[in-house]
A and B are shown apart, each in its own frame.
Chain A
C-alpha cells in the first residue's frame, strides 16, 4: 500500500513540475516511469504478502470520504496499468514535442487516476478518479488542437464519456439507495438483499455505462476517433489500459456487488461481445488509417474479452462455478495480453506516423528498410494479435475458446446455441483479424515507399525502440509463463483449481484431462519445427542473386503498381457488402478514342451503418429538440424573471403537495 501511495506522490510531483515548467519534460516522464514501476511493485508485493492494506479518510460530509482498498481483482489491473504505463513513459523519453508541459501534466494525472481506480474502496473515490481519467485523457486527445478533426474527435469522446459517467453515477446512486452506504465492501456484503428487478436495472445500466468506456458496439464510436487523434504514447495507454477500466468496473459491479444473476445476463453479455468482436474487426479490416485500424482492433479485442465474461456469467448462473472462474480468468488474461500487444502496436505505429507525417497507409510502404527495429517489433505485435501460437494473444484466445466450449456442458438448448454462435463469432474474428494485420504490416512496412516522406523515413530513437522491445518481450514472456499467470489470475479470483474445457456436471471435481497440455511443449514444437525448416538453409545450393522484380515488361516497377491498402480489402468489402454497402464510380475521359481513355478517375467508398442508422437519427432528434427549446430563449430579462417565478411556483406547489 505504501508503495502505491509513493507512486501517487511521484505522479503528482511529475504533474506539478510540468505544470510550472514545461521545459523540463524529461523529469515528468521519469516520474511517470518510476511511478508506474512502483505501483506494479506495490500490487505484486501486496499480493504475495497477502497483506491487503486499506486506508480511509473521512470527508467533510458523509459519503464524500476517501477510501482506498486493495483487493485481488484490483491488484491485477494495477499491475496491468503499471506495465503498460512504464513502457509508454519510456517511449515518451525519446520524443521531443510541442506543448509537452501540458501533455505530461495530463499524462501523469492519467497514470495516477488509472492506478487510483483500481484501488478505490468507495463510490466517491472511484468516481473522482474516473472523472480524472476522462478529463486528463480528454486534454491529451486534444493535444493537436489546431486540427479540426482532432477537435471533433475530442468532442465526441467527451460526450460519450460523460454519458458513461452519468450512467455509472446512476448505478452507484442505486446501490446507495439500496444499502445506505457508499462503501464498496458494504455493497458486496448485502448482495443477497437486492431484489431481482433492482439487479436487472443495475446490470443493464452498468453494461451500457462501463460498456461505453470498454468500447462495446454500438457505443464504441468515440474509440476509433479519440485513440487515433491522441499522441502515440497516449493512444497506447488508452487502448492498452484505459478501456480495461470499463471491464474492471463491469466485473466489479456484476460479480462483486451483485453476485449471481439470471442466465439472460450472460446471454446478453455474450451477444454484446460477439457483435462487438465481429463488427470491430470488420471495420478494422477496411481502415486505411493505421492508428484507426488499431483502434478498431481494440474494439474487436474488447469483444473477445466480453465473450469470456459472458461465458463466465452464463456458467455461473447455471451453477458451474469452477468453469465460470476459468472463463473469467481467460477474459482477464486477454486483458493483460491485449494491453501488451496493443500498446506495442500503437507505439510502433506512432513511430511510423511520426516518421511519415501521415496516418494513411496509402502513403507508407518500404519502411522495413528504413525502420528495421520498428518493423520487426510491429511484426511481433502482429503475430501476437493474430493469435499465432505460441505467442500470448493465442494463449488467451485458446482459453476463451475453451470457455465458450464449456457452454456445451450446460444441459440447455439455449446455452448450446449461444455457445455455438459465440464460438463461430470468435473463429470468424480470428480469421478476419489475420487479414487485417497482414494488410497493416504488409502495406505499411513492405515493398516500396508510396510517398516522398516514406522514402526519407528514419528509425525511431533508442528510448522508443527499447519501449517497443520491452513490450515485445512482454508478449513472449506472458506466453512462456502463460500457465503460471493463468494460475495466478485463477487464484486471485479466490479459487484454486485450473479448469479447461471439460464437460462435467455442476461443480463436479474437475478431472483436468488437459492439465498436462502445456504451453512449454507448444513453444518447443513451434521452435523445433521452425528450426527443422531453417536447417534446410544448409542444404542444396546457397547462392543468392539480387535482381529487380519483374514489372510485366514495363521499364521499371513503380510504387503505383503496388497493391494499395484499399485494393487489399476489396474482396472482403464485396463479401461483407451487406454491411459496408460499397459504392464505386469510374469516370473515363474518352475524348480521343473509345478504346484509349486519356484519364480515368476512380472513387470508391463504403458506409458506416452504425453512425448512419443509429447516431444520425439520434443527433438529428437532439438538434430538433434543441431547436424547439430555443423558442424559450427570447433574450428579454423580464421573460427570464418570469421563468424563475414560474419555476419557483411549481417547486413550492410540489413541496406543499408532498407535505400533505
Chain B
C-alpha cells in the first residue's frame, strides 16, 4: 500500500477521537449544567479527572482474578480497534481494508463481554446486577446497531465505511430516503442505550437501583478506572462519529490538502457538537425509564432499524 498524506490524515482519525473523547463528555456535562441553571465544571474537567485517576493508587478486590484487571484494557483496546474502521475527517477510515461495519459492530462485543465478566468478578451483588442488566440491554441493542448500520450499506452496495461515505457524498441529498431516516433514528436510540445515557441509564447516578454502567465499574479505581472511563467516553465519541459521518458524510475530505482538512475538521466538530446538544437536551428533559420499560425502548430501536432496512431494500429493487 502506498503511504500518502491522505492515508496519514485518515490514520490520525482514531487518535483525534481518543484525544477528543474526554472533551465530548465534558461538553455534554457543561451543556446539561447550563440547561439546569448550574455553572457546572469546566469542559476540560474530564481531562483533569483522568490525570488524577492515573496518579492514584489502585485497589483490587481479593475475590477478583486477572479478568478484573484486564477489563479496562480490553474495553479501551476493543473500542479503539472499532474506531479504526470509521471515517473521521477524511472519507476513508484509518484501516478500512481490515474490515467493514459488521466488524465494527462485533468489535464492540469484546469490551461488552469483559465489562460483564468484570462486573461479576468481585462477587458483589452490584456488579452482578450491572452485568446482568448490561447484557439484557445490549443483547437487543446490538442487533439494532447492526441493522441500522446495514441500511446505508445496502444503499451504497457495500459494507465498507469508506465506500458508503463516497456513495452518499456522490449522490448528494438524494441519499436521504425514508430508510435512511429510520436507520438514523434507530442508531440514535442505540447510541443512548449503548453509551449508558438517559433514558436507559444515568451516567451521573450512583443510586444502585437504577444504575447499569456505573454498577459494573464500581470496583475499579485508580488507573483502571481512568482507562475504563476513557474507553467508555471513546465509545460515546465513536457512536457520535458514526451518527455524524455515516449519515451526513458531506464535506469529509477526499484530498489531503490543508484547506479541505480544516473544513472537514470544522464540520466534524459542528456535527458532533450538535449531537451533543441533542443528547444534553434529551437527558435534561426526560426521566430515566424504569428498567422493565427499557426493553420497549430498545424494541422500538430494533423495529425502526428493521423498517429502515426493509424500506432501503425495497427502494433498491424499485418497488
Chain A residues whose CB sits within 8 angstroms of the CB of B119 once the complex forms: 442
CB of B100 within 8 A of CB of A514, answer yes
Chain B residues whose CB sits within 8 angstroms of the CB of A405 once the complex forms: 150, 153-154, 159
Q: Which of A19-27, A406-414, A647-655 contacts B (4 or more CB under 8 A)?
A: A406-414
**In chain A between 405 and 443, which residues have their CB closer than 8 angstroms to a CB of chain B?**
405, 408, 411-413, 416-417, 419-420, 423-424, 427-428, 430-432, 434-435, 437-439, 441-443
The 8 Å CB contact of A533, one of B73, B139, B309, is B73
Chain B residues whose CB sits within 8 angstroms of the CB of A95 once the complex forms: none
CB of A419 within 8 A of CB of B313, answer yes
**In chain B between 138 and 180, which residues have their CB closer than 8 angstroms to a CB of chain A?**
138-143, 146-147, 150, 153-154, 157-160, 163
CB of B97 within 8 A of CB of A547, answer no
CB of A402 within 8 A of CB of B159, answer yes
Q: A447–B68 Cα gap in the complex (Å)?
A: 10
CB of B62 within 8 A of CB of A423, answer no
CB of B157 within 8 A of CB of A438, answer no
Q: A448–B120 Cα gap in the complex (Å)?
A: 10
Q: A375–B64 Cα gap in the complex (Å)?
A: 14
CB of B102 within 8 A of CB of A398, answer yes
Chain B residues whose CB sits within 8 angstroms of the CB of A502 once the complex forms: 157
CB of A417 within 8 A of CB of B110, answer no
Q: Which of B26-34, B50-58, B235-243, B255-263 contacts A (4 or more CB under 8 A)?
A: B50-58
Q: A416–B309 Cα gap in the complex (Å)?
A: 10
| B273 close to A (CB within 8 Å) | no
Q: A366–B72 Cα gap in the complex (Å)?
A: 21
**In chain B between 82 and 139, which residues have their CB closer than 8 angstroms to a CB of chain A?**
84, 95, 97-100, 102-103, 106-107, 109-110, 112-113, 116-117, 119-125, 127-129, 131-133, 135-136, 138-139
| B65 close to A (CB within 8 Å) | yes
- Which of B63, B66, B112, B139 has the most A CB atoms < 10 Å from its CB? B139
| B278 close to A (CB within 8 Å) | no
| B251 close to A (CB within 8 Å) | no
Q: A427–B181 Cα gap in the complex (Å)?
A: 21
Chain B residues whose CB sits within 8 angstroms of the CB of A386 once the complex forms: 109, 113
How distant is B194 from chain A, measured CB to nearest CB, in Å?
11
Chain A residues whose CB sits within 8 angstroms of the CB of B153 once the complex forms: 405
Chain A residues whose CB sits within 8 angstroms of the CB of B157 once the complex forms: 502-503
Measured CB to CB, the nearest residue on chain B to A545 is: B59
**In chain A between 299 and 331, which residues have their CB closer than 8 angstroms to a CB of chain B?**
none
CB of A517 within 8 A of CB of B100, answer yes
| A401 close to B (CB within 8 Å) | yes
Chain B residues whose CB sits within 8 angstroms of the CB of A402 once the complex forms: 102, 159
CB of A549 within 8 A of CB of B124, answer yes
CB of A518 within 8 A of CB of B140, answer no
Measured CB to CB, the nearest residue on chain A to B154 is: A408
CB of B136 within 8 A of CB of A572, answer yes
- Which of A408, A540, A550 has the most B CB atoms < 10 Å from its CB? A540
Chain B residues whose CB sits within 8 angstroms of the CB of A416 once the complex forms: 310, 313-314, 316-317
Q: A574–B219 Cα gap in the complex (Å)?
A: 28
| B9 close to A (CB within 8 Å) | no
| A645 close to B (CB within 8 Å) | no
Chain B residues whose CB sits within 8 angstroms of the CB of A525 once the complex forms: 81, 84, 95, 98-99
CB of A438 within 8 A of CB of B116, answer yes
How distant is B253 from chain A, measured CB to nearest CB, in Å?
22
15 contacts between A and B (CB under 8 A): A417-B310, A430-B109, A442-B120, A446-B64, A448-B63, A501-B159, A532-B80, A533-B227, A536-B223, A548-B63, A552-B125, A559-B123, A563-B131, A567-B128, A568-B131
Residues of B within 8 A of A (CB): 53-67, 72-78, 80-81, 84, 95, 97-100, 102-103, 106-107, 109-110, 112-113, 116-117, 119-125, 127-129, 131-133, 135-136, 138-143, 146-147, 150, 153-154, 157-160, 163, 219, 222-223, 226-227, 231, 291-292, 295, 302, 306, 309-310, 313-314, 316-317, 319
- List 5 other contacts, CB 8 Å, given A387-B106, A417-B313: A383-B110, A402-B102, A430-B143, A525-B98, A549-B123
